[in-house]
Amino acid sequence: MNDPQRRRVRPGRPYTGDTIALPKHERERAPQTPDQPPPLRPRRARRQPTNVRRRRSIWERVRIALLIVLAVALVGLGVLYWQVRSVAQAIVVAESRANPPLASPLMGGANVLLIGVDERPDHPEEGVRSDTLILARLDALGRLVSMLSIPRDTQIDLPGVGATKINVAYGQGYARAVELYGEGTTPQQGGMALAAETVERFLGLQERGLGSMRVDYVAQVNFNGFAGLIDALGGVTIDVPKLIVDDAYPTENFGVMRVEFQPGVQRMDGETALIYARTRHADSDFGRAERQQQVLRAIVAELRAKGWIGRTAALPGLLDSVRGQDGATPPVITTLPIARFDVLLAGMLLAGGVAPDDIAQLRITPETVAVTENGSNLIWDPDGIRAIVDQFVSPPDEAAEEATVQVLNGTSVPGLAGQIALDLEQAGFAILVPDNAPPGDYSQTIVYNRNDKPQTARRVAEHLNAPLHEGSPPADVASEADIVVIIGADQAQP
């Protein structure tokens, strides 16, 4: 059958003429004979997308930057540790007591006895005595810092001397260092050792069922060292609670001068802060102990406010301030191994993790412990001493404080103290009968923590949005409460 879709192809005749050269473009399209395979073209490398190259470049730069930062940090830490170690070699001395205690401020906590030394190298005939005794509890993991001030007129029984003031112990150890602790013991080592043993006996640390509770380490600082530390920080901020006038402040040339501190927040350099911490004729040794703890808390607050960078920058100056110059006795001497890893880590944790308001401030005073007098000596009730040491070694707890609060009306609004007292009572505080404050200008409400009840006092201040003052209210304010609130004009405003 004939298929209309098919074309009839007529066989052609073979070509017998001359060879005709095809144009180039037709030759390229011409089919290749089987024995001549097409030429292979070189395969080009596959290009990566631009964004991939950019991403890889960024990460390479980040890695390099991180390595540089890490290297700088390691170098910085190495330099700082070298500085700490060099200062430690100058100010850390060996413990002279037999069977020295083993404790760490990082693991389990440690007790450090701080001794303010009245030492005048130019006048050796004046002798040496401890002007301040503060036992500090440092527990880095427990985030606990406590201070307990011991009055220097406290009567103790000192072996070889008999009944005497507790501050005599340092002077005796200083003068009899070799006799008491053997050859090679320096006067400073002897003074610190005997002071530590005396404080241990007075507080009954080893007889309280607290295991190996001891005075673990000792640090002594003279007046120049105390002022130098504060100057190295650039000063401290102190909130002076009341007017202080001392007409008989002792001078270095054994004279006296008048010093005066107006109430209110003020910036103090090292010399001014030292005078503030030492003055006592305006009130008493108990008021002086309160101011000393206030200055120590202000130092902690200054360090905390600087942050890690600021603290790191301030460290060289602080270390230089405690280092002895030209072979002289360093203004700070301690048995605390400050270059030891656990001590360094504990210091870093405490500096960054404990706020100044979290530091428990305890003082042995007639308001906290019953006392009898033997001339100028103070004989404290042993049960009261045990109770205050219990507070010292325990984390602060509001329930355990059992604090009482009294509200005094410093405004002309009748019934305002009663209203605020009722509000505080409903918030869970133990309230005494409210009363009027003595006549005066009370522009701001102030909370006074007069009996070392830090947790309760802080919550009262937070509840009223009022500033907290550590210590007693003005002298003309009569109250038996642990915490006194004086209502100011700011609470009277609608």
The 10s digit of each residue's pLDDT in 297-347 is 898 888 888 877 777 777 777 777 777 666 667 888 999 998 888 888 888
Would you say residue 372 has pLDDT above 50?
yes
Model confidence at 12: pLDDT above 60: no
Return the bridge partners of 380, or none. Answer: 371
Structural domain span for residue 421: 398-492
* Spatial contact of 450 and 483, defined as CB atoms under 8 Å apart: yes
In this model, does residue 384 exceed pLDDT 70?
yes
Residue 154: is its pLDDT beyond 90? yes
| Span 406-432, average pLDDT | 91
What's the pLDDT at 241? 84
pLDDT tens-digit readout, 250-260: 887 778 899 99
pLDDT of residue 327: 60
- In the prediction, which pLDDT does 1 show? 47
Buried b (16+ CB within 10 A) or exposed e, 265-298: eeebebebbbbbbbbbbbbeebbbbbbbbbbbbb
- Per-residue pLDDT at 340: 86
Residue 313 belongs to a domain with what CATH number? 3.40.630.190
Choose among 284, 280, 457: nearest CA to 359: 457
Kindly report, residue by residue over 186-244, the tens digit of the pLDDT.
Answer: 999 999 999 999 999 999 887 765 445 789 999 999 888 888 889 988 999 998 888 89
Please give the pLDDT value at position 135: 95
pLDDT at 210: 46
Domain C-terminal end among 346, 376, 393: 393
Answer whether residue 156 shows pLDDT above 90: yes
Q: Does one domain contain both 334 and 244?
A: yes
How is residue 254 annotated by DSSP?
A: S
- Specify whether 409 is located in the same domain as 374: no
What was the pLDDT predicted at 494? 60
Examine residue 255 and state whether it is found in any structural domain, yes or no: yes
Paired strand residues for 333:
220
DSSP helix/strand/coil, 92: strand
Whether residue 425 is found in the same domain as residue 458: yes
24 C-beta neighbours (distance < 10 Å), count: 8
422 shares a domain with 377: no
Choice among 61-70, 222-231, 366-375, 484-493 with the minimum mean pLDDT? 61-70
How do beta strands 371-374 and 446-449 pair? unpaired
Cβ atoms < 10 Å from Cβ of 373: 11
For residue 370, is pLDDT > 90? yes
Domain boundary among 369, 393, 417: 393
Q: What percent of the chain has pLDDT over 70?
A: 82
* Whether 291 and 170 share a structural domain: yes
Rounded distance between C-alpha atoms, residue 400 and residue 395, angstroms? 10
The C-alpha atoms of residue 132 and residue 128 are separated, in whole angstroms, by 12
305 and 417 share one domain: no
pLDDT of residue 17: 54
**pLDDT top residue among 336 and 121:** 336
Cα distances (Å, whole numbers) of residue 489 to 151, 411, 443, 469: 38, 6, 5, 18
Phi, psi of 92 (to 5 degrees): -90, 125
- Asked if the structure places residue 1 within a domain, the reply is no
Evaluate whether residue 266 is within a structural domain: yes
Contact 194, 173 (CB under 8 A): yes
Last residue of a domain, which of 352, 367, 393? 393
| DSSP assignments along 29-49, one per residue | HSPPPTTSPPPPPPPPPPPPP
- The answer to whether residues 295 and 201 belong to one domain is yes
Answer yes or no: is 48 within a domain: no
Predicted confidence at residue 61, as pLDDT, reads 76
Query: Is the pLDDT assigned to residue 122 strictly greater than 80?
Result: no
Rounded to an integer, the average pLDDT of 16-37 is: 54
Residue 22 in domain? no
Residue 368 has pLDDT above 80, yes or no: yes
pLDDT of residue 31: 54
Is 7 inside a domain boundary?
no
More confident residue, 305 or 271: 271
Residue 143: predicted pLDDT: 79
- How confident is the model over 361-383, as a mean pLDDT? 92
Q: How far is CA 80 from the centre of its chain?
A: 18
pTM as predicted = 0.72
What digits encode the pLDDT tens for the residues 435-471?
999 998 888 999 998 887 888 898 899 899 998 887 7
Tokens of 69: 């930062």
4-18, 28-42, 445-459 — which is least confidently predicted? 4-18
Least confident of 40-44, 351-355, 382-386, 425-429: 40-44
- Domain with residue 480: its CATH number is 3.30.70.2390
Asked whether residue 405 is assigned to any structural domain, the reply reads yes
pLDDT at 54 over 70: no
Least confident of 37-41, 141-145, 284-288, 400-404: 37-41
Percent of the chain with pLDDT over 90: 34
- Same domain for 370 and 415? no
Based on the structure, what is the number of domains in the chain? 2
- Show the tokens assigned to 209: 């069922």
Average pLDDT score over the chain = 82
424 in the same domain as 376: no
Instruction: Tell me: pLDDT of 92 over 80.
Output: yes
Which residues, at least 6 apart from 349, have a Cβ–Cβ distance to it below 8 Å?
106, 140, 141, 143
Q: Which of 378 and 86 is assigned the larger pLDDT?
A: 378
Other C-beta atoms closer than 10 Å to the C-beta of 374 total: 10
Same domain, 216 and 301: yes
Strands 468-470 vs 446-449: parallel, antiparallel or unpaired: parallel
Q: Please indicate, yes or no, whether residues 211 and 188 belong to a single structural domain of this protein.
A: yes
**105 part of a folded domain:** yes
Residues 389 and 432 in one domain: no
Q: What average pLDDT does this structure show over 83-101?
A: 82
Alpha-carbon span 132 to 226, nearest angstrom: 12
pLDDT at 399 over 80: no
Q: Do β-strands 377-380 and 468-470 pair in parallel, antiparallel, or remain unpaired?
A: unpaired
